Amino acid sequence: MATYEELMARKQAMEAQIVAARANEVPGVIEQIRELMLRYELTPEDIAPRRRRGRPAGSSSAVAKKAPLPPKYMDPKSGKTWSGRGRAPAWLGKRPERFRIPQE
């Protein structure tokens, strides 16, 4: 069984070999990529398009502004209203039908 120090020495030797092999192979790979780009008339933008932030152009006009909902409940003391959406106000209590606004 190899010791820890022997294994670490082997690891460092292997990492050095990996770095050397990569350095030898990268220029050939880059040349292959350039040849393919010329052959197929590709640009760097075709390979890695720019990432855009935010919403796509024109998306704000596609979404129409929503009109506020008409109130369904009203507190007679304060005049406050509630449309029935979202968190119920405290003044509504346990019997909301008492504050219901008659619909026309």
> DSSP string spanning 55-79?
SPTTHHHHSPPPPPPPPSEE-TTT-
- State if pTM tops 0.75: no
pLDDT digits (tens, 9 = 90+) for 53-66: 776 666 565 566 78
- Spell out the alpha helix ranges (H) of 1-104: 4-39, 44-47, 59-62
Q: What would the pLDDT profile of 83-103 be if each residue is shown by its tens digit?
A: 999 999 999 888 888 999 987
